[in-house]
Structure 1
């Protein structure tokens, strides 16, 4: 599809629709967990795996699925991923046991692992460097738009239909996205048709699965639990062996040469760190908005919109400024805005209303847009055109592993600070345990016992923990900004990357069937 062809923007809309599906699927399930627990008699462990099985499979398969697009065709594999995701959604809606829902979520994770890197890898094949920043902003914004839509859709669906409707809603979106992609997106692949690196794929899948499992299980069982330690150690050993293998393999699955380019290293590090913090914040915010401020699921989704609007403003500013200033100044400014948003959030009071939260959420969103969009644009500009599917898988693996780490690490920090603060003296043993476990548990105990003091203590303790988490994120943002400012090359290097990237991509972009 040549750069002057107006269909490229319709093709972007088709890709954005697919990403919108992934976006709201990340949050829609959370509002339905209580209903699923009641309807399917699912225990806490089963509910955890309904959520985590998707994340585990998703993160573990991103590396090898990106390579499949380079070999068999990116459009073809993207359509296959959408089909798997849609079929698994139907399976989840029809499941009548927790095991059935978990199986469906595993299959959804497989479909998502194909969709995410391949949708990203198509962008540089249809957009020139002058338009790519805008395209990435739309692509990123479409997934971000899905995040607040999840609770909104989920809350409305659960009010009017059975719990399986949260999966059924994926199906029409997937069907429309598949039709649009089939009609509008050109096929592309690596003309060299790289062979499948089976040893590398096995090492990456098992290594990432072990690592992400350890990260998921750490906050539940404790970071010193033998199973957690074994999983983390096994993941580290397997991934170290993956690097050794990839450095010697004749046709490696990972392009290790990218890590010798400091532009790639620091821009990829920024996207991973931003994903880590965003995932942690999105884990915390619904609890704050629902339990502390007393909103329902639908109201919680509405109150996340300022962050989305801020992100869109940041993305638009990036599109307007990137060609004149280059990526580095925008990223540094974005990290300053992001750190300011986190710092403002860390001053939230336990008895404050939503208006102050709306302020820092807007600043936070603008910082995310100004940080993530230029970082992703720079990363994509550095990927070799023919191998962009493989390398997109690598980039998305770094991002999604960061998300899993963010939920686990920041969730653990929040939990520790909350437990140290909440007052449970005088409560029966089981009630005290539930109150210490989470703010939602404390609210349920307080309602059952009519204990207003416990509810006030739990809300205050949660806000204390949230403020500590936000302060930690502000610190991480400040620390990350230093090497970006010191080591990331400036505008001239951006122009060189754009020129070489367009040259590579023009020679490979349309190697179709």
Structure 2
């Protein structure tokens, strides 16, 4: 794959053919699509997985979040490794491991085996995602870079939004394990194509990777998500909830101290005091919070409450994929005409409006389709704009670190979206049904079959569980909408009208 010592800023020379550059965007886009798809496609397979493996709500949340927790925690280290040892080398190695771990997950026969496989998948993905964006940052400049970032962001959004449709198709035909087999062939294509068309690049300084900081970031993120998940299952002040929260705070403080003292910190110094960077970071995090949380609720609601099979449920959320792609194409134009602040804030506001529609409209597919279309539009507008702002604040030579920062915020939002909205769903459902919650959830997942087998009592329990699930889903969606509105306000305060192409020097 080449040696880091042979790297050069190939995006700024005349020796790069247009065809190869298009191939680089396509290859990096496919790599990103695969790792993002893995999360969202699994959502649609949750009911089938619960029945086949006997997993409860808390276990399912860990199956989903094990990936995101490790992914978010290791992203900063992944970006640093890409800068140190070569972005192409690290990215393609991560894709290879990701494909192999997907095959292992597909062969699992217990829920906790799936959790462990998802841990490996998350670790591999953490070394892929920063590299994909860093390669594009190094390859392109000016408007071409803005377009490449918009395509990259659109692919990430498409992977989140299209996952339920693809997951539904393969789950219906081959079971839940098929959502993991779905990753294997594209991963192989990326490794082969990447070896042929992507040139190596790295940080000329290439300092040592900050291992202690990476370990503390994993501990902080993992403990935070653990505390939120356990709150949903046990409530406060259960010992696991308190312990998780305390460890998260201590690890975060230790990370901040280490960041100030390290010779080469994972996060370039000064960024955490940079208003545009903070605004874009929070915006990105809460955008993925809202999308991940809403899809986590809706893919289950469509199957449990509306009685749709996985394919139909996937088709029902297709509008969000279409509108994300269309809006992502328009986002750079909106940024040029109206400025960064307007694009990011408007997108966040539209997302919040769509989530309110999903939460407030009467139960029915028409309301779901309309709400998802609105959410997808806002998401497609805001994510490329926020990513562009964030990347512009990071030193050019730390492209991997900058990409990792962006990816960390997105994945942290994804993990917390599922954790917080899932915890809200769990708490409201349990509060409505009390001691019968576990039995009701099991019968609810069986739908009409449980009502027939259980007679009048079974039908009553299924109906009560459905009503409780609707109330819980509404509460979770309102939480996601509130998060998007908070982010919109912070964006208006922190991001200037036009950030421009200015890039910070290394602090």
TM-score relative to the length of structure 2? 0.88
Counterpart among 64, 73, 77 of residue 86 in structure 2:
73
Q: Measured at CA, do residues 292 and 366 of structure 1 come closer, stay the same or move farther in structure 2, by a change above 3 Å?
A: same
| 2:503 is equivalent to residue 500 of structure 1 | yes
Match of 1:385 among 396, 400, 407: 396
Structure 1 stretches (4+) deviating beyond 6 angstroms?
41-45, 441-444
| CA distance 1:447–1:20, shift in 2 (3 Å) | farther
2: CA distance between counterparts of 1:63 and 1:329? 29
The aligned counterpart of 1:487 is 494
SS at match of 2:116: helix
CA contact (8 A) 2:348 2:378 kept: yes
1:463 aligns with 2:470: yes
Match of 1:409 in 2: 420
Give deviations 1:455-496, integer Å, cap 9, x for gaps. 4443333333333333333333333322322332112xx22x
Alpha carbons 2:208, 2:264 under 8 Å: kept = yes
What is the correspondence of 1:396-475 to structure 2 with a 5 Å cutoff? Answer: 396-421=407-432, 433-435=438-440, 440=445, 445-451=450-456, 452-475=459-482
Give secondary structure in 1 for the equivalent of 2:202.
coil
Match of 1:14 among 27, 33, 41: 27
Of 350, 355, 361, the residue aligned with 1:337 is: 350
Superposition CA RMSD, Å:
2.8
Change (3 A) 1:149 1:196: same
1:282 equivalenced with 2:287 (yes/no):
no
Are the counterparts in 1 of residues 65 and 415 from structure 2 also a CA contact under 8 Å?
no
For residue 45 of structure 1, report the CA deviation from its aligned partner.
6.7
SS at match of 2:11: coil
Partner SS state of residue 206, structure 2:
coil
Q: Distance in 2 between matches of 1:93 and 1:469?
A: 30
Q: Give the drift of 1:36.
A: 5.0
- How many residue pairs were aligned? 491
List per-residue Cα deviations over 1:165-211 (Å, max 9, x = no partner).
Answer: 33222111001111222222221110000112222223223333322
Instruction: State whether residues 32 and 154 of structure 1, in contact with CA within 8 Å, keep that contact through their aligned partners in structure 2.
Output: yes
Pick closer, same or farther for the CA change 1:438–1:272 going to 2, 3 Å. Answer: farther
- Distance in 2 (CA, whole Å) between partners of 1:416 and 1:98 is 22
* 1:311 equivalenced with 2:314 (yes/no): no
Choose the corresponding residue for 1:374, options 371, 385, 395: 385
Q: Which residue of 1 aligns with 2:11?
A: 2
Secondary structure in structure 2 of the residue aligned to 1:2: helix
Deviation at 1:259, TM superposition (A): 1.5
Between stretches 478-487 and 66-75, larger displacement belongs to 478-487
Tell me the residue number matched to 2:337.
Answer: 324
Which of 28, 39, 50 aligns to 1:26? It is: 39
How many angstroms apart in 1 are the aligned matches of 2:182 and 2:462?
35
Aligned pair in 2 of structure 1 residues 401, 193: CA closer, same or farther (>3 Å)? same
Alpha-carbon spacing, 1:169–1:389, altered in 2? closer, same or farther (3 Å): same
**How far did 1:130 drift?**
0.8
Deviation at 1:219, TM superposition (A): 1.6
**Could you tell me how far apart the structure 1 residues matched to 2:284 and 2:39 are?**
18
| Separation in 2, partners of 1:228, 1:382 | 36
Cα shift readout 1:87-134 (whole Å, capped 9, x = no counterpart): 112222344555543432222111111111221222211121312332
Correspondences of 1:53-68 after superposition (within 5 Å): 53-68=66-81
CA distance in 2 between counterparts of 1:453 and 1:94 reads: 37
Deviations 1:225-250 (A, max 9, x none): 21221122112101211111110112
Aligned to 2:240: 227
The verdict on how the C-alpha distance between 1:179 and 1:392 changes in structure 2, with shifts beyond 3 A counting, is same
Q: Residue 206 and residue 338 in structure 1: after superposition, are their counterparts in 2 closer, same or farther (change >3 A)?
A: closer
Q: Distance between the aligned counterparts of 2:478 and 2:111, measured in 1?
A: 37
Aligned to 1:240: 253
Task: Spell out the pairing of 1:39-438 with structure 2 (5 A cutoff).
Answer: 49-98=62-111, 100-161=113-174, 164-350=177-363, 353-421=364-432, 433-435=438-440
Query: CA–CA distance in 2 between the matches of 1:20 and 1:390?
Result: 20
Task: Classify 1:322/1:38 alpha carbon distance in 2 versus 1 (closer, same or farther; 3 Å).
Answer: closer
Contact 1:10 1:184 in 2 (8 A): yes
8 Å CA contact 1:218–1:408 kept in 2: the answer is: no
SS where residue 500 of structure 1 aligns? Answer: coil
For residue 209 of structure 2, give the secondary structure of its aligned residue in structure 1: coil
C-alpha distance 230-135 of structure 1, shift in aligned 2 (>3 A): same
Q: State the Cα distance separating 1:384 from its structure 2 match.
A: 1.0
Retained in 2: the 8 A contact 1:434–1:445? no
Please list the CA deviations of residues 338-375 of structure 1 after superposition, one character each: whole Å capped at 9, or x if unmatched.
2221222232213xx31222112111111111222211
- The CA deviation at 1:420 is 4.7
